[in-house]
Chains A and B, each alone.
Chain A
Amino acid sequence: MKQGSTRGLPGWRFAQGVGALAGVVMAIALYMAFVYAPADALQGDVQRIFYLHVPMAWVAFLAFFVTFIGGIGYLWKRHRGWDQLARASAEIGLVFTTIVLLSGSLWGKPIWGTWWTWDARLTTTLLLWFIYLAYFMLRSYVSDPERAARYAAVLGIFGFIDVPIIYKSVDWWRTLHPGPVVSTGGAAMPGSMVVTLLVALAATTLIYAYMLYQRFWIERTKDEIADYHYRLYERQLAREMREGASV
């Protein structure tokens, strides 16, 4: 019964299309990951986690890039639509980063014999996770939503620009203590694996796009509910003051 209102949203039909497409492509990606792609010569079936892990990492990074752009947009234009975009994307990015860290651990345990290694990519991902966790802590610790949006925008900009610097520094730091190498080098990968990875990447990107659309409208609706409460209170107050004046 509530669907009547959501259908009115701009781009709703298109988003539904994207969502359906995401489902179809994801189904294909899963089939390819488990059936079509060959088992890795060295790692066996465990390597199939790669088709979840790598696309998630790339898309998480894309999500934080969108948050970065949203932050710049908000600080520049002061229009809260930018902030709604930024926080919607940061949330998906944080969830995806969590999945990346967990799936990486699950993959690392049988292959490297350890849940964790201080490799540049892992370390950078972990720090990224902490930065965007701080992003949401910051938001929840500031009571004025307008101020929270400004602060979050700043952290979103700092965090994103910091990523390549963190990566470089951890990379150089590790060169003295070489850890296990994660890279499943593109050249060594059979063509079927590359195709499967690309399909999985497409599926993950579509899921991100669909979730971003949903999250964005939820965030927007939250703000509109707050506006509504504000207006309701204002109207009630105006009535009270009128009545008070006429007494």
Chain B
Amino acid sequence: MRRELGRIYAVAWKDLLSEIRTKEMFGGMAVFALLTIITFNFAFDLTGVDRAASGAGALWVAISFAAMLGLGRSIAVERDRGSLDGLLLCPVDRGVLYLGKLLSNLIFILLVEAISVPVFGALYDLPIYRPTLLLGLLLGTIGFAGIGTLFAVMASTTRAREILFPVLLFPVAVPVVIATVRVASMTLSGTTGDVGRWLNLLVGFDVVFLTIAFLVFDRIVEE
């Protein structure tokens, strides 16, 4: 068990180390997220009194699009360089490889959030540093990255993977989008009455889909 944890960490570590040196993915994702937030400003009026409700949506759309770019790229790079085969050659359970890639993807997305959430709060003058909002964001990100990592591996072997990946990911991820946005907008507008049920829904989604993804990953990477 400890050895397996060490291996999960190792898979994520080599991604993070590469990223620290090139800053390719993180830079692209963060800039994209910020640009999306700014673009939303032109699309909707995010300065009015009801900006708490629509702003939360804009924030999550920005994050999920940036996350989608990052997820697709992190898997496509392994596939194109052939290093995915290198991982599959290791005498390691496939679930470990899944969790390792999930961990590095998750860290990338959380870092993007660490930049874009404060910027979003400052630009639209919203009090974003609320535990429930951040918890909702974290749970939503786990679920999104969890199914995203699996679907990105699936899409990476197909023709037109850049198109197929969002088509697979977004309909299945709808509950995450709704729940995360609801938690954020309820927190921002101060009506936190039934925020608990949304957090429960997110926890349920994460547990169910991460478990299934962990179980079927073996069948996805075989040839």
A and B touch in the complex (CB under 8 A): yes
A138 to B16, CA, bound (A): 30
Is chain A's interface secondary structure helix, strand, loop, or mixed overall? Answer: helix
Is there an interface contact between B212 and A155, defined as CB atoms closer than 8 Å? Answer: no
Is there an interface contact between A141 and B178, defined as CB atoms closer than 8 Å? Answer: no
Contacts of A150 in B (CB 8 A): 219-220, 222
For B212-223 the 0/1 string (1 means CB < 8 A from A) is 100010011011
Is there an interface contact between B198 and A134, defined as CB atoms closer than 8 Å? Answer: no
For A124-151 the 0/1 string (1 means CB < 8 A from B) is 0001001101100110011100010011
Report which of A75, A134, A173 forms a contact with B168, defined as CB distance below 8 A. A134
Contacts of B179 in A (CB 8 A): 169
Q: Is B131 an interface residue (CB 8 A)?
A: no
Residues of A within 8 A of B (CB-CB), count: 29
Residue of A nearest to B178 (CB): A169
Q: Is B164 an interface residue (CB 8 A)?
A: yes
Is there an interface contact between B175 and A165, defined as CB atoms closer than 8 Å? Answer: yes
Q: Is B197 an interface residue (CB 8 A)?
A: yes
Interface pick from B25-33, B87-95, B153-161: B153-161
18 other A-B residue contacts (CB within 8 Å) besides A155-B154, A161-B212: A127-B174, A130-B171, A133-B167, A134-B167, A134-B171, A141-B164, A142-B157, A147-B223, A150-B220, A151-B154, A151-B220, A154-B219, A157-B216, A169-B174, A169-B179, A172-B197, A172-B201, A173-B178
Q: Is A202 an interface residue (CB 8 A)?
A: no
Report which of A127, A143, A170 forms a contact with B171, defined as CB distance below 8 A. A127
> Shortest distance in angstroms between B72's beta carbon and chain A's nearest beta carbon?
14
Is chain B's interface secondary structure helix, strand, loop, or mixed overall? Answer: helix
Q: Is B135 an interface residue (CB 8 A)?
A: no
Q: Is B150 an interface residue (CB 8 A)?
A: yes
A141 to B162, CA, bound (A): 12
Is there an interface contact between A75 and B197, defined as CB atoms closer than 8 Å? Answer: no
- Residues of B173-223 whose CB lies within 8 A of A: 174-175, 178-179, 182, 194, 197-198, 201, 204-205, 208-209, 212, 216, 219-220, 222-223
Is there an interface contact between A141 and B220, defined as CB atoms closer than 8 Å? Answer: no
> Shortest distance in angstroms between B155's beta carbon and chain A's nearest beta carbon?
8
- Nearest first, the 5 A-B pairs at minimum CB distance are A141-B158, A169-B175, A130-B171, A169-B178, A165-B175
> Shortest distance in angstroms between B165's beta carbon and chain A's nearest beta carbon?
10
Report which of A127, A142, A155 forms a contact with B158, defined as CB distance below 8 A. A142
Q: Is B139 an interface residue (CB 8 A)?
A: no
Q: Is B117 an interface residue (CB 8 A)?
A: no
Is there an interface contact between A75 and B216, defined as CB atoms closer than 8 Å? Answer: yes
Q: Beyond A151-B154, A155-B168, A165-B204, is A141–B212 a contact (Cβ under 8 Å)?
A: no
A212 to B208, CA, bound (A): 30
Q: Is A162 an interface residue (CB 8 A)?
A: yes
A-B contact pairs, 13 of them (CB 8 A): A131-B172, A134-B164, A134-B168, A138-B158, A154-B220, A155-B168, A161-B208, A165-B204, A169-B178, A169-B201, A172-B194, A172-B201, A173-B178
Is there an interface contact between B171 and A131, defined as CB atoms closer than 8 Å? Answer: yes
> Shortest distance in angstroms between A71's beta carbon and chain B's nearest beta carbon?
9
Is there an interface contact between A162 and B197, defined as CB atoms closer than 8 Å? Answer: no
Q: Is A70 an interface residue (CB 8 A)?
A: no
For A146-189 the 0/1 string (1 means CB < 8 A from B) is 01001101110111011001101110110000000000000000
Contacts of A155 in B (CB 8 A): 154, 168
A139 to B136, CA, bound (A): 34
Residue in A137, A151, A155, A157 whose Cβ sees the most chain B Cβ within 10 Å: A151
Q: Is B102 an interface residue (CB 8 A)?
A: no
A210 to B167, CA, bound (A): 31
Q: Is B147 an interface residue (CB 8 A)?
A: yes
A218 to B162, CA, bound (A): 32
Is there an interface contact between B205 and A165, defined as CB atoms closer than 8 Å? Answer: yes
A169 to B182, CA, bound (A): 10
A172 to B199, CA, bound (A): 12
A153 to B212, CA, bound (A): 12
Residue of A nearest to B204 (CB): A165
Q: Beyond A134-B171, A141-B159, A165-B201, is A170–B178 a contact (Cβ under 8 Å)?
A: yes
